[in-house]
Structure 1
Amino acid sequence: MKNIRMLIVGLIAGVLLATSATAFAGPAFERIAATLRPDYKVKVDGSDVELKYSPIVYNGSTYIPLREAGDILGYDVTFESSTITLNSKEKDVEQVSEPNVGTNVVENKDWVSPDDLEVIGVSIQKSEDQKMFVLSSGDKTLLFPVLDKDAIVINKNNHSIQRKNGDYSFSWSTYEYFQ
């Protein structure tokens, strides 16, 4: 009698567990029907942007890949442990509208040309999205935005890039950083 009671309790427990698992286990992913729209164009600040992947329209909203949107808008996009994170590539720079002649930004030393930096072994490349200059030598790297007009940009470590009459130069502190 005791064995039959244990068998019945075990069967009931098994049935309850099996049905509750299927009741609570809904689909984690769902297939959708969306429309690929290669005819859609994207503009950022009035300039056409070439997309690697065509936009998708779903339920009246248009979607582009977040990593591509982040790159276009100046963000690094990472995905870790089911969390998507966007970090600004330019968060440590400050735009100065007029060249700050007479200030101590470069400690009264001359600006140096890209050629001067290359002579001491600094590699100067543009980022993949063409929005940043990447200066590197050994384990040292600095990022500066590509400027579309004459201006000076100073980052939080007081390293500067200047565009004047279409030509670029870097602060003396940038030169010293790489020496």
Structure 2
Amino acid sequence: MFNYGILGEKGAYKMRKILLTLSICMLIGLTATAVAASNDSVQASIAKFVFKVNGEEKELKNNPLVVDGTSYLPLREVAGLLGYELGYDDTTRTISFEQKQVDSNQYQELTKAPDLSEWINFLDLIRFYDGNDIKASLSGDNLTTHLTIGVFGIGFPFPFEEQYKLGDIPRLYQRPKGEFSMLVYKNNIFVNKSDIQKLGFPIEDEWVPIADLSKSSTKFDFSLLNGVKKMKPVFLYTEQGIIRAMNSKTGILLNKEDLRARGLIG
């Protein structure tokens, strides 16, 4: 029995809280011990996986577990990343998956024709990257359209086949944070050039084949490009100044902006 007169009223109250907490912890500990004693023990390790959906890297809030070589993923999180709502009926112990409904208002219908000089047809981008060590693809289903460039992947809440039904109605789709945008116009899918540049990928109309400068008197030393991976820019030193160049499946390409700054093209 504690002497409350010595502790004081506040001290006694704190002490009662401590005793209550200790009692609860002891009960939990006893229960856990009983369960452990009546069941086989299981050893699990936390796993760190790179999780991707249609090429787009996703982050799990809860780390997966690995038990005897089998990976266990957080079900509700994975369902959400795959576009499903997870439901659970405690009475029948039934887990259900329902496809999320696409929000049809996640686009902006433009009132006038867009300036296509700021955009590039994604199929042209795929053609340019094909054979140049950069993977690019376009795919989709009745809910989502997926774009992949290199290791970067992104999905838009836009049925893939809708691009063939809109005709001349331009629709602009943007990710919630605005880091990437897609334009559906004239039965084609376009991506913003500046978005591609931010990702560090080249765009075809920014480069000129060396064959187009055959009449130029400027001498180039292309030895720095020997063994360099395609589509990886290298700085060349010329009498006119530094000019970016890179290998491609069609030959060496030179940067238009650099050539224009050195007065080598108009």
TMscore range, shorter length: 0.3 to 0.5
Scaled by the length of structure 2, what TM-score is found?
0.29
Which structure has the bigger radius of gyration? 2
Q: Which has the higher helix share?
A: 2
